[in-house]
Amino acid sequence: MHKRFSWWLAALLVAMPWVSRAADAPRVVALGGDITEIVYALDAQQALVGVDSTSQWPEAARQLPDVGYVRQLAAEGVLSLHPQLVLATHDAGPPAVLDQLRAAGVRIETLPVARTPDAVVAKVEQVGNLVGRKAAAETLANQLRGQYAALGRAVAAMPRHPRVLFLMSAGAGSPMAAGRDTAADSAIMLAGGVNAASGLDGYKAVSPESLAALAPDVIMMMRERSEAWGGIDGALKLPGVAMTPAGRARRVVLVEGQALLGFGSRNAAQELAVQRVLAAIQLQP
């Protein structure tokens, strides 16, 4: 019995790549870190023949041919990968290149902006449909719905919502803070925080004085870029930070930038992690 089973399994394993290749494996180019992430989460990566430069996760995606920055695509470069389907974020471009790709017979599916749990779930389902992974997408969607529901309950239970300031980059000049209408703004609100820079529009450079005036309880930064600033200690030394509640209590949170702000399949878990950090802050006023 056991022997027979393993024989079957071996036969299945041998036949499987052939079956999946013959059935529905369109050659797919994913444009956008969030989309690549979802394709991998749905275990549909065999179909991927190329990604854009924002697709940094998972590690395996970096081994694929890189067609460049998502807003500066080159028509012939994409065509050289012979894709049948291009899964593109809403801001892929330039439009002239997308038109050239369409004219060459490539199917381009643009996915809408997602900054809410519903939109993330919808995006997962849409990618699942497009790459022929409907069942896997439904499983993942349900899992995400569960995580977001738990997040909603946890946020509702928070007695106070700390003021969070997301700082994007700090070169020699002033750091850039995430204001209204940014992915960071949505991410902060979802995790139960209040964006301290909601008076700004988009990403704006903030002077040391306005940093102090924004009076954030927490400063949030991307872990990917934190080395450039000298990590948490470096952030605390930024001019103006010492004058904020966050600076005085050394509350600097490092987040996984792409996972959180890409609003892909990893967003929910990241939001939960951030929420736990924000909730813990309440305990030590």
**Which residue lies nearer to other proteins by CB, 79 or 254?**
79
Q: CB count, 10 Å around CB of 71? A: 14
Closest CA to 247 of 255, 256, 238: 238
Residue 281 is inside which H or E element, if any? helix 267-282
Angle separating helix axes 134-156 and 267-282, nearest 10 degrees: 10
Residues in CB range of 97: below 8 A, 6 or more apart? 73, 74, 75, 78
**Which residue lies nearer to other proteins by CB, 12 or 74?**
74
**Which residue lies nearer to other proteins by CB, 43 or 99?**
99
Q: CB count, 10 Å around CB of 190? A: 25
Residue 222 is inside which H or E element, if any? strand 218-222
**Which residue lies nearer to other proteins by CB, 75 or 122?**
75
The answer to whether residue 279 forms part of the interface with other proteins (CB under 8 A) is: no
The answer to whether residue 172 forms part of the interface with other proteins (CB under 8 A) is: no
> Between 203 and 222, how does the x/- string for binding to other proteins read (CB under 8 A)?
x-x-----------------
Binding to other proteins, residues 58-117 (CB under 8 A): 65-69, 71-81, 91, 94-100, 103-104
The answer to whether residue 228 forms part of the interface with other proteins (CB under 8 A) is: no
Binding to other proteins, residues 150-169 (CB under 8 A): none
Angle separating helix axes 117-130 and 33-41, nearest 10 degrees: 70
> Between 21 and 60, how does the x/- string for binding to other proteins read (CB under 8 A)?
-----------------------------x--x-------
Q: CB count, 10 Å around CB of 248? A: 11
Whole-number minimum distance, CB 67 to other proteins, in Å?
5
Q: CB count, 10 Å around CB of 80? A: 13
**Which residue lies nearer to other proteins by CB, 22 or 103?**
103
Q: 3-class DSSP state for residue 230? A: coil
Q: Kindly list the residues in this chain that would bind other proteins in the complex (CB under 8 A).
A: 50, 53, 65-69, 71-81, 91, 94-100, 103-104, 202-203, 205
